[in-house]
Chains A and B, each alone.
Chain A
Amino acid sequence: MNHRSHDLPIVVALAAVAVAAALLPAPAVARAAFALPLVLVLPGYALTAAAFRGRALGLAEWVAFSGGLSLAVAALGGFALTWSPAGLQAGSWATLLGGITLAGSAAAWRRRRREAPPIAPRRVAPGLGQGLLLGLAGLIAAGALGLAATGAAQQETAGFSQLWLLAADRAAAPAVRVGLQSGEPAATRYHLVVIAEGEVLGDWPALDLAPGERWETAVALSAERADAVTVEALLYRLDEPARVYRRAQLWRDR
């Protein structure tokens, strides 16, 4: 890095924008884009710039120290925040990391004012062909990620349906909560029956659920069944009406 260049103002500006994006309403992409350097790069970069003088560090040293120190600052910074009134929240993290970045940058600026700029190694940018190769490599790697993610998302798994039966604790009158959710690959039609000691409390002969859809309802117990010990829910699929597909049973407190 050229120590007489504009790296410190850029660092401070990035930190300021990241802090603002964290504290103020901002688009999600912008928040994420600026949060990444605030957590992973900027505090360590500022500390590295403040601590190291004299000969210029190489790019590898800058990356290793900036990244490593940023991670270390965040790993340790949580301890300071946990004992603060604010705790570990976006605002307190932004303040801490932004503050460290600012303090480190200020210290680095003061040091550089006193010292002669070191000789930085001249770097040669990749040529066009090399750049194209690197770009192509990046594209292929991104394609690999896309392929893997698509494969994972589309992996076939066995469908399932959930049935549950719980006490409706907050109901004014004795009642139970019954529900189902479809994890089937296609829209499914169900028949649900809720029974308390032989009496049908509820019968839903044709419940249609799309994949991922949830249905839930409270079922009141009749006066005659208010003291029923057991309540049972039986779920059938209409394509197999004779087989109990799912079963739930609730033992009620007397």
Chain B
Amino acid sequence: MCSAAVARAPPSPAGSPAGLAARGVLMVVSPQLVGVVSRGRRGRRPAYGDARLDAAGAVAWGALPALSLVGALGLLAVAGAYTGARVGAAWATPLFWAGLLVLFAPGAARLVTPGAARAERLGLVALLGLGLYLVKVLHSPLAFTYHDEFLHWRTASDLLQDGRLFGANPLLPASPVYPGLENVTGALVALSGLTIFQAGVVVVGAARLVLALALFLFYEVVGGSARVAGIATFLYMANPNFVFFNAQFAYESLALPFAILVLCALARRTGAEDCGALTGVAILGLGATIVTHHVTTYALVAFLVLWSAVAHFRRGAGAEQVDPAGLALLALVASLAWLVYAASLTLGYLAPHLTSGVRELLRIIAGEEAGRQLFRPYAGQANPPWERLIGLAAVGLPLLGLPWGLRQVWRRRRADAFALTLAAGALAYPAGLALRLTQFGAEASSRTAAFLFVALAFVLALGVAEAWRRWPRPSTAAACAGLAAVMLVGGVIVNTGSSARLLPGAYLVAADARSIEPQSVAAAEWARRALGPGHRFAADRTNRLLLGSYGEQYVVNGLADRVGVSWVFFSSAFGPAERAALRQARVRYLLIDRRLSDGLPLVGFYFEAGEPGTFQHATPLDPTALAKFDVQERVSRVFDSGDVVIYDLRAVTDEP
């Protein structure tokens, strides 16, 4: 039981802002000195020292205003870091990390302590959720720059132009059959007149708020405590995908909040008056998840099935639980139906990501391959020692905390099938780490974090709460928040791979956001304007995104067309084999970006995974290989902007 000294709830505080800010900081540093307490909601004493609401339901704002100010200053530092990075300032990266920590750590520390009222905790998780979202928005405040955003922009653009769903998207064939994100964005664009980018930022931001609150409400029921809910929510936000990957305009960013809403509604059904309404929310959320993102759907279905199994075996233990089997069955049937009737493209898209990684892992285990070198980007300098240490800690800390947290689940929540299911889900985290040793499976492994952390965060939160119970000191809160901050920072490092990709700046070769720059964008826009939409182009990874989005072209790639032409770009000759490959792929135009020969590809490949030398390029692309099209008869050089050249291959491929 928490032994923190507490005081009666103070009256609505007046006084200078500076005094309030100082008081707010004091609340975080030493909750024993300044606390808020009130009588329990139902007269029970909370297990983990929750602050209680008074009988009249008065809401105490506590440290929220002060921490909002601190968080805003963190955001300002991040914005300053981005601005400095654009001019190559050496202080940009340290300032970025400082800003991120200022945004995250104080709120996290406050959530660990028992002094905060429920409403303050809710405010803090909303603040953290939106604040961390703004870290991504500040990186790209004017236009999309992240890889997946262009894929979904194309779907949204086609939807708005055609006024119908299920168009074709060569950049991501599966996207049009999971149009939830584009439906919402399209509605907002059509009604408001905003651009797709502006509407997308708003939609994902709204989804982020829903995610933060739904997570809290979900954890509150399962954990039996608003304090555990706050801790679990900020631990979830420390997952590697939270800051950037799940903040981009992509279908998982919207599907995750839907899935959490389903879990929240189901968890709250137990003993609720509004069981029917909550079931309705769950069904609506399930339907929205299914039509928004495949992997999130399968993760949700897997969890519901697991929960049903656990609830079935726990039923005899006397715990009152709402039977989840019905909804699990509905989820399974509905997701399979969608897969069979509308989304058969999904298997062709997902399977290679998983099978390649598993095959590679088996070869590593068999000693046939060495495995991926950690913290060594494909181009540029290796991560400095401190980044490697933090990155390893980000992966290792959850592993270390897992047994402790599982013990608490067993001691305090084993009558709850939901809690046991989360504990079982958390055990999948170590298993998923193995794929990080592979080239092709690393990305799939990192993507699982967004799902596994839903379970892992809960288990770790119980461990944190128990740690506070045993050592109720400010240093405990600081240590827990600090370790969570390490997870946050390390997760960002692990996911981005190198500092070069973290902050904006000058052009880099095949570096996703760092390769999006005006000349390539202008070339894509020229293609749309001068050539018209829908022509078949072959290009490198970055220009393919831009041609497919800004340019509204059909970009040939192995995923959509089942034909590979990337090797043609590496070839020193333009002979019969090269011509035949382009003819088979029905390529009309080739876009050559001569900057590709200036350096190694930061993501490991120039065109697509599977090209010659994927993940193993030791020397940049040969410039003479890129220039070979200049001396070919019947190949027209129709566009030249210096670095970007477009060739018309109609005479070679007979493509209209």
Contacts and interface: CB of A to CB of B under 8 A. Distances in A.
A136 B17 CA distance: 10
A251 B194 CA distance: 42
Contacts of B76: 140-141, 143-144, 147
Size bin of chain B's contact surface:
35 or more
B57 interface: yes
A94 B213 CA distance: 27
Contacts of A129: 13-17, 19-20, 65
B183 A75 contact: yes
Interface majority SS on B: helix, strand, loop or mixed? Answer: helix
B324 to A, nearest CB: 19
A31 B643 contact: no
A148 B137 CA distance: 9
B43 interface: no
B163 A51 contact: no
Contacts of B58: 122-124
Nearest to A141: B72
B651 interface: yes
Interface stretch (B301-309, B365-373, B382-390, B630-638): B630-638
A76 B122 contact: no
Contacts of A122: 56-58
A188 interface: no
Nearest to B284: A72
Given A51-B281, A82-B165, A67 B69 contact: no
Contacts of B17: 129, 132-133, 136
A212 to B, nearest CB: 10
A150 B80 CA distance: 11
Contacts of A24: none
A138 interface: yes
A129 B86 CA distance: 37
B362 to A, nearest CB: 38
A225 interface: no
A249 B507 CA distance: 28
A183 B522 CA distance: 9
Interface in B114-134: 119, 122, 134
Interface size class on chain A is 35 or more
B598 interface: no
A69 to B, nearest CB: 6
Interface string A14-48: 00001000100000100110011011100000000
A68 B57 CA distance: 25
B531 to A, nearest CB: 8
A150 B277 contact: no
Given A88-B164, A151-B82, A71 B640 contact: no
A78 B134 contact: no
Contacts of A181: 522, 526
Given A156-B86, A181-B522, 13 more contacts: A64-B264, A65-B261, A78-B183, A82-B166, A88-B159, A94-B191, A127-B20, A129-B16, A137-B69, A144-B76, A160-B518, A164-B530, A165-B636
13 contacts: A31-B193, A35-B188, A68-B281, A78-B165, A88-B164, A93-B186, A97-B191, A122-B56, A124-B12, A126-B61, A246-B641, A248-B637, A251-B651
